[in-house]
Amino acid sequence: MTVRVRIAPSPTGNLHIGTARTAVFNWLFARHHGGKFILRIEDTDLERSRPEYTDNILEGLRWLGLNWDEGPFFQSQRLDLYKGEVQKLLERGLAYRCYTTSEELETLREAQKARGEAPRYDNRHRNLTPEQRAAFEAEGRSSVIRFKIEDEREIVWNDLVRGKMSWRGSDLGGDMVIARASDEGSGQPLYNFVVVVDDIDMQITHVIRGEDHIANTAKQILLYEAMGAKIPEFSHTPLILNMEGRKLSKRDGVTSISDFQKMGFTAEGLVNYMTLLGWSPPDSTQEIFTLESAAKEFGFERVNKAGAKFDWDKLDWLNSQYIHKTPVDKLTDLLIPYWQAAGYKFDGGRERPWLEQLVTLISQSLTRLVDGVAQSQLFFTDTVEFSDEGSTQLKQEGSAAVLEAIVTALENQPQLSEAAAQDIIKQVVKEQKVKKGLVMRSLRAALTGDVHGPDLIQSWLLLNQIGLDKSRLSKAITAVN
Ligand code: GLU
């Protein structure tokens, strides 16, 4: 048997972290077994589906490296197939037309509520005679198609994550609507039905999806039986929770993959984190995984039943690991869009070699790519802002004289080298008879506005190359005097 799995997002929003994590597990499972990963866009909800969401979903999956083998298939282009299947169930007496109006259903629900019962359809139109049907049609009532669910049925499956699962037919809300009223004969087919038609048609062997679909699985198993198809394996993956243990939601700030991207997470870091959201590798000390390396180890026996807590610190840590080992040229490519978004201009000597030198300087201190904006700001602006500590440093005794001596030394150095910079510092220490620390701190305060920051000599060289060191030094001297 060739493993065939699918991810089936509905384009009613951007690619959600929960869907993306489900996609990761599907991908890992497919690759582990040398199987196929299929992409199906479930766009039957015409009012809520939008092409821009489809684009966002496809871009997000591609960005994460979750390449698919077949698809994308669009349900909106497969309506004839679904309608044909609805028709077959009608003809075989496994489904029927129900003419109950929404007012009647509401009255039924109210009565059930008053008796303290769960709301369910009472199957009242299951056995209409042709005359009764004709009478409803003559009244101009529209109909939905309902699939018969026997109350006494027990539906059992062996879930790959949750073990033995069992549902009673009586808990499924009565005969289920599989197609909504529409002007055409078989109506507009609905989610639970089309998923099964597609999963059969696409020969899906394992349905891997979020645990919020468990009740759907019970209904869908009955549909597989009705259509005479082999029932796939099911695997319901745990929900993603926030640190308080509640389902991760919009209130937690970010939920879509494009948000995570904007926040400066790398595709590799995020995907690595998602593999660990609910799955624990056989060697629990191993945390760094590419999709390929995780696929070798992946199986549902190590996927937890309990919800997976979203841990920002861990995501940040993993992300920084990837940033720190990204080669400079690639990291520069990754940072450029963030600099552009911040309005930084690549003029006045800020060319590719200079940018790469800047990236080398800051790379090890980045946790998220977006940190590269703040950490390189002083290299993209003409003037620096002084922190309190920076100003205090410039007011230290001897500071102004040190800076003046550096300016003088620089006059003979149009292009500063690392060795020349070191020499100037040594020379000033000697001349001014001061400690090296004072020279270094004053120089840093003058050039960067602060007393902490990246390597001073490298920062100086970068500023020198774009002609900003002398002006900053002079400005600092004026500020002190
Ligand atoms: N379209 C469904 C969703 O976005 C997924 C259905 C499934 O995986 O069966 O939640």
Could you read off the pLDDT of 114-169 as tens digits, one per residue? 999 999 999 999 999 999 999 999 999 999 999 999 999 999 999 999 999 999 99
Q: Could you tell me the maximum CA-CA distance found in the chain, to the nearest angstrom? A: 112
Look at 45 and 279; give whichever has higher pLDDT. Answer: 279
Co-location of 87 and 178 in the same domain: yes
Domain end, chosen from 131, 156, 191, is at 191
In a domain, 226, yes or no: no
In a domain, 87, yes or no: yes
Co-location of 183 and 87 in the same domain: yes
Q: Is pLDDT above 80 for 235? A: yes
Q: Is 10 in the pocket of ligand 1 (CB under 6 A)?
A: yes
Instruction: Please tell me the least confidently modeled range out of 39-48, 68-77, 103-112.
Output: 39-48
Q: Is pLDDT above 60 for 183? A: no
Give 250's pLDDT tier (boundaries 50, 70, 90).
Answer: confident
Atom of ligand 1 nearest to the CA of 6: 8
Co-location of 439 and 339 in the same domain: no
Co-location of 177 and 253 in the same domain: no
| Residue of the CA atom closest to atom 5 of ligand 1 | 8
Interval between CA 9 and ligand 1 midpoint (Å): 5
Atom of ligand 1 nearest to the CA of 12: 4
| Residue of the CA atom closest to atom 3 of ligand 1 | 9
- Domain CATH code at residue 402: 1.10.10.350
- Domain CATH code at residue 52: 3.40.50.620
In a domain, 155, yes or no: yes
Q: Is pLDDT above 80 for 201? A: yes
Q: Chain centroid to CA 250: how far?
A: 13
Atom of ligand 1 nearest to the CA of 42: 1
CA distances from residue 148 to 97, 299, 439 in whole angstroms, order as listed: 11, 36, 85
Q: Is pLDDT above 80 for 54? A: yes
- Domain CATH code at residue 100: 3.90.800.10
Give 45's pLDDT tier (boundaries 50, 70, 90).
Answer: confident
Number of compact structural domains in the chain: 4
Q: Which two tokens stand for residue 297?
A: 């180890």
The predicted pLDDT at position 481 comes to 76
The predicted pLDDT at position 61 comes to 98
Interval between CA 220 and ligand 1 midpoint (Å): 12
Q: Is pLDDT above 90 for 56? A: yes
Q: Is 199 in the pocket of ligand 1 (CB under 6 A)?
A: no
Give the separation between CA 18 and CA 5, rounded to whole angstroms: 17
Atom of ligand 1 nearest to the CA of 208: 8
Angle made by CA atoms 350, 352, 356, in degrees to the nearest 5: 95
Whether the CB-CB separation of 425 and 436 falls below 8 Å is answered with yes
- The arithmetic mean of pLDDT across residues 416-436, rounded, is 96
Instruction: Fill in the DSSP letter of residue 65.
Output: T
Interval between CA 207 and ligand 1 midpoint (Å): 10
Whether the CB-CB separation of 219 and 210 falls below 8 Å is answered with no
Enumerate the active-site residues: 250
Tokens 């500071």 label which residue? 399
By most ligand atoms within 8 Å of CB, the mutation choice from 4, 7, 10 for ligand 1 is 10
- The arithmetic mean of pLDDT across residues 323-330, rounded, is 98
Q: Is 38 in the pocket of ligand 1 (CB under 6 A)?
A: no
Give the separation between CA 224 and CA 144, rounded to whole angstroms: 20
Sheet holding 95-98, edge to edge: 95-98, 144-147, 176-180, 188-189
Integer-rounded Cα radius of gyration of the chain: 32
Q: Is pLDDT above 80 for 337? A: yes
By most ligand atoms within 8 Å of CB, the mutation choice from 7, 53, 207, 213 for ligand 1 is 213
- The arithmetic mean of pLDDT across residues 50-73, rounded, is 98
Q: Is the peptide bond before 130 cis (omega within 30 degrees of 0)?
A: no
Give 185's pLDDT tier (boundaries 50, 70, 90).
Answer: low
Instruction: Fill in the DSSP letter of residue 303.
Output: B
Interval between CA 165 and ligand 1 midpoint (Å): 19
The predicted pLDDT at position 184 comes to 55
Indicate the pairing of strand 144-147 with strand 95-98. antiparallel
Co-location of 67 and 34 in the same domain: yes
Q: Which two tokens stand for residue 110?
A: 């109210």
By most ligand atoms within 8 Å of CB, the mutation choice from 42, 61, 198 for ligand 1 is 42
The predicted pLDDT at position 480 comes to 78
The predicted pLDDT at position 347 comes to 96
Give the separation between CA 60 and CA 32, rounded to whole angstroms: 22
Q: Is pLDDT above 60 for 427? A: yes
Domain end, chosen from 379, 402, 419, is at 379
Give 232's pLDDT tier (boundaries 50, 70, 90).
Answer: very high
The predicted pLDDT at position 251 comes to 78
Co-location of 410 and 451 in the same domain: yes
Co-location of 333 and 296 in the same domain: no
Q: Please provide the average confidence, as pLDDT, over all residues in the chain.
A: 95
Give the DSSP per-residue string, 356-411: HHHHHHHGGG-SSTTHHHHHHHHHHSSSPPPPHHHHHHHTSTTHHHHHHHHHHHHT
Co-location of 85 and 127 in the same domain: yes
Q: Is 18 in the pocket of ligand 1 (CB under 6 A)?
A: no
Identify the CA nearest to 194 among candidates 178, 214, 210. Answer: 178
Interval between CA 106 and ligand 1 midpoint (Å): 28
In a domain, 342, yes or no: yes
Alpha helical stretches, state H, 251-326: 257-262, 267-275, 291-297, 312-325
| 3-state DSSP assignment of residue 245 | coil
Give the separation between CA 112 and CA 118, rounded to whole angstroms: 7
Q: Is 232 in the pocket of ligand 1 (CB under 6 A)?
A: no
Q: Is 209 in the pocket of ligand 1 (CB under 6 A)?
A: yes
Co-location of 243 and 306 in the same domain: yes
Sign of CA dihedral 148, 150, 156, 162: positive
Alpha helical stretches, state H, 120-275: 130-138, 191-201, 214-226, 257-262, 267-275
Interval between CA 190 and ligand 1 midpoint (Å): 12
Q: Is 8 in the pocket of ligand 1 (CB under 6 A)?
A: yes
The predicted pLDDT at position 182 comes to 66
Q: Is pLDDT above 80 for 414? A: no
Look at 252 and 284; give whichever has higher pLDDT. Answer: 284
Whether the CB-CB separation of 37 and 284 falls below 8 Å is answered with no
Residue 166 sits at φ, ψ, to 5 deg, of -145, 135
Please state, as a whole number, how many other Cβ atoms lie within 10 Å of the Cβ of residue 3.
18
By most ligand atoms within 8 Å of CB, the mutation choice from 43, 44, 74, 209 for ligand 1 is 209
Atom of ligand 1 nearest to the CA of 195: 9
Q: Is 175 in the pocket of ligand 1 (CB under 6 A)?
A: no
| Residue of the CA atom closest to atom 6 of ligand 1 | 8
Give the DSSP per-residue string, 425-443: HHHHHHHHT--HHHHHHHH
The predicted pLDDT at position 207 comes to 98
Q: Is 366 in the pocket of ligand 1 (CB under 6 A)?
A: no
In a domain, 223, yes or no: no
- Domain CATH code at residue 341: 1.10.8.70
Co-location of 56 and 155 in the same domain: no
Give the separation between CA 146 and CA 125, rounded to whole angstroms: 9
> What is the domain range of residue 150?
81-191
Q: How many residues does the chain have?
A: 481
Q: Is 195 in the pocket of ligand 1 (CB under 6 A)?
A: yes
Q: Is 40 in the pocket of ligand 1 (CB under 6 A)?
A: no
Q: Is 186 in the pocket of ligand 1 (CB under 6 A)?
A: no
In a domain, 300, yes or no: yes
Domain end, chosen from 191, 223, 249, is at 191
| 3-state DSSP assignment of residue 381 | coil
Q: Is pLDDT above 90 for 220? A: yes
| Residue of the CA atom closest to atom 10 of ligand 1 | 9
Q: Which two tokens stand for residue 32?
A: 């582990």
In a domain, 217, yes or no: no
Co-location of 251 and 312 in the same domain: yes
Co-location of 331 and 320 in the same domain: no
Give the separation between CA 32 and CA 53, rounded to whole angstroms: 29
Tell me the per-residue pLDDT of 380-395, one tens digit each, with 9 for 90 and over: 998 899 999 999 999 9
In a domain, 92, yes or no: yes
